[in-house]
A and B are shown apart, each in its own frame.
Chain A
Amino acid sequence: MKKLIKKTLIMTMALILIFSMVACSSSKNDDADKKDEITVTEGKKNEEAKKKPIKLRIYAQYADDDTKVPYDYALDALKKEMPHVELELDVQAQDDGQKIKTYAATGNLPDIFQANLDIINTFKTSNNIMVLDEYVEKLGFKEKMHPSAMNTLYTDDGHCYAFPYAGNELVLLYYNKEIFEQNGVEVPKTYDEFLQAVKVFNSKGIIPLALFAKEKWPCVALFDIFATRLEPQGILKLDRGEGKASEESYTVAAQRIVELVKAGLLPKGATNMNYDQAAALFHQGKAAMFINGQWEIEASTEALGDKVDWMYYPAYDQSTYESTKYAFSGGGGPSGYAVSPRSEYKDVAAEVAAFISLKYAECKYTMRGNPIIATKVDAPIVKPYPPMMQKLAQDIPKITSTTAFAWGLGNAKFKAAIEDNAQKLLTGFYSAEDFVKDMNKLLE
Chain B
Amino acid sequence: MHKYLKNKVAIIVFTLPALVVFSIIVFYPIIQTFYKSMFDWNGLGKGTFIFLDNYVRLLGDRLFYTSLRNGLIFAAVLVILQIGIGTFLALAVSDVTLKGRSFLRVTYFIPVVLSITVVCQLWLSIYNEELGLINKLMEQLGLSYRQHWLSSEKGAIYAIAVVNAWQYMGYHFALIFAAVKSLPEQYFEAARIDGAGKIKAHLNITIPLLYETYKFCLILAITGGLNAFANMFIMTNGGPGDATYTLTFLMYRSAFRVNEFGYGCAAAAVLVIECLLATIIINKLFGREQITY
Contacts and interface: CB of A to CB of B under 8 A. Distances in A.
A53 interface: no
A126 B45 contact: yes
Contacts of B283: none
A122 B42 CA distance: 7
A415 interface: yes
Contacts of A416: 253, 257-258
A423 interface: yes
Nearest to B15: A8
A12 B151 contact: no
A416 B8 CA distance: 56
Interface in A91-121: 95-98, 101, 104-105, 118
Which of B12, B20, B44 has its CB near the most chain A CB atoms (within 10 A)?
B44
A267 interface: yes
A4 interface: yes
Query: Chain A contact residues: over half helix, strand or loop, or mixed?
Result: helix
Interface in B163-197: none
Given A4-B11, A104-B44, A105-B44, A271 B128 contact: no
A97 B44 CA distance: 13
Interface stretch (A39-47, A397-405, A425-433): A425-433
B228 interface: no
B44 A427 contact: no
Contact of B44 (A101, A118, A216, A271): A101
B256 A96 contact: yes
B259 A272 contact: no
B67 interface: no
A125 B257 contact: no
A51 interface: no
Given A125-B42, A126-B45, A8 B148 contact: no
Given A16-B28, A125-B45, A272 B150 contact: yes
A97 B128 CA distance: 29
Interface residues of A, number: 43
A270 interface: yes
Contacts of A12: 16, 19-20, 23
Interface in A408-444: 412-413, 415-416, 420-421, 423-424, 426-427, 429-430, 438
A416 to B, nearest CB: 5
Contact of B257 (A16, A96, A270): A96
Contact of B259 (A118, A216, A267, A271): A118
Interface string A109-151: 0000000001000110110100000000000000000000000
Contacts of A216: 237, 239
Interface in B30-58: 42-45
A98 B44 CA distance: 12
B238 A420 contact: yes
A396 B267 CA distance: 46
Kindly list the 4 A-B residue pairs having the minimum CB-CB distance in the complex, ordered from nearest: A424-B241, A126-B44, A269-B129, A126-B45
6 contacts: A122-B44, A214-B236, A271-B151, A412-B259, A413-B260, A424-B243
Interface of A: 1, 4, 8, 11-13, 15-16, 19, 95-98, 101, 104-105, 118, 122-123, 125-126, 128, 214, 216, 267-272, 412-413, 415-416, 420-421, 423-424, 426-427, 429-430, 438
